[in-house]
A and B are shown apart, each in its own frame.
Chain A
């Protein structure tokens, strides 16, 4: 039972094709709408209510299809976002090679918005292989085993409320 406020926040999930953005969202929320919207509109929206202290936060999660590039994604989908999750696939270096440039581009559109770097598909690599990856990340996740899925959304929510 909460006695605080109810707030709504928009979170966008970005990253290259096939890194597991949709699977992470599916793991986090019970989806009402079909994934087909992702292929037709290039975006799919889901909702999850998260409790932070006494407050309830309505997370509106925009799962954006395609690469983070000025020419390939409808930039309007980014507008008004309160938080960003950049997802990459640990097993495919091509998905994190341009991560910093992509983040710089998104931060120009959305200055002062908290961003999380999420290294997904941790289940595909051994601990030794993971230790050898030099790219920085905030969370090591796996949509398959649900490793850190709840945790990363909760951390972002707290960062958005600060």
Chain B
């Protein structure tokens, strides 16, 4: 039994020696492989850096050339605007020839539309052969004024498209007349008041907004104490028309607004009254205007401050 045990122990020790040797061999092999790999990596790194240098050496001249070319191109672009300006200055007739087809068409279209409007207005007047205006034209014809001239003058006459009666401070709309519906009359009244207030504040109340122009229309403003009146007018708005309208606005203000309380005004159908007034405006001629202006002067003299006079 004891002999058997000793035999087994010898066998185990021999196996152990074998494994130790095997392990040592493997370790040495691993070390060699590791060294070889390290060497390989070192070689690759060296080769790469050399390649990089080579690439840089090859690329640098090409890149420099490209950068120079880009700089040149940019310089050319910067000069283009200068060249264009010079070209326009030097060859104006050629530029006009080039632009004419575009500009010409635009102008042509505008004139066509305006002529159509004029034609429509003249036709309307001619259709109404037995109107007061027709008799007036005949009468003026007797005085040597050509009917064509009268028709042209009447056709290009300014017309009131919108009319607003607005509270001066709050911007609240009291009455509105419109040929066509505007976006929202209350909002327009508010924004007009804001613009007017802005102008007053900006110039410290030394100026009041009287006219705004946009496109083919003019906004004429008549400012009174509690209210201000706004007329949106299209057509030819000359000085005569403006004076006539201002005088008419004043007349409207005095007749329907200035002597009445807010409650009394609210109870009136001001929009209906306004509509009638706007429709009657073409008949508010020079004579009526002069009578109204004269009435105004008398009224102002009547309000003369006698208390001050005594001083």
State the A residues within 8 Å of B (CB). 8-10, 32-33, 37, 41-43, 45-47, 58, 60, 62, 74-77, 79-82
Contacts and interface: CB of A to CB of B under 8 A. Distances in A.
Interface string B183-210: 1101100110011011011000000000
B187 A45 contact: yes
B168 interface: yes
Contact of A42 (B169, B184, B187, B198): B198
A62 B169 CA distance: 12
A33 B187 contact: yes
A146 to B, nearest CB: 23
A8 B187 contact: no
A162 B197 CA distance: 28
8 closest Cβ contacts across the A-B interface? A80-B170, A80-B169, A76-B197, A45-B190, A79-B169, A74-B201, A10-B170, A8-B172
B200 A76 contact: yes
17 contacts: A9-B172, A33-B191, A37-B191, A41-B195, A42-B198, A45-B190, A47-B190, A60-B171, A60-B186, A74-B197, A76-B197, A76-B200, A76-B201, A79-B197, A80-B172, A81-B170, A82-B170
Given A32-B184, A74-B198, A75-B201, A80 B190 contact: no
Interface of B: 167-173, 183-184, 186-187, 190-191, 194-195, 197-198, 200-201
Contacts of B172: 8-10, 58, 60, 80
A58 B186 contact: yes
A45 B171 contact: yes
B263 to A, nearest CB: 11
B168 A80 contact: yes
B187 A79 contact: no
A6 B171 CA distance: 16
Given A41-B198, A76-B197, A32 B170 contact: no
A32 B187 contact: yes
A79 B170 contact: yes
Contacts of A41: 194-195, 198
B184 A47 contact: yes
Nearest to B192: A45
B186 A77 contact: no
Contacts of B187: 32-33, 45-47
Nearest to A81: B170
Nearest to A49: B186
Contact of A77 (B167, B173, B197): B197
Residue of B167, B173, B190, B195 with most chain A CB atoms under a 10 A cut-off: B190
Nearest to B169: A80
A32 B191 CA distance: 12
Contacts of A60: 170-172, 186, 190
Contacts of A47: 184, 186-187, 190
A33 B195 CA distance: 15
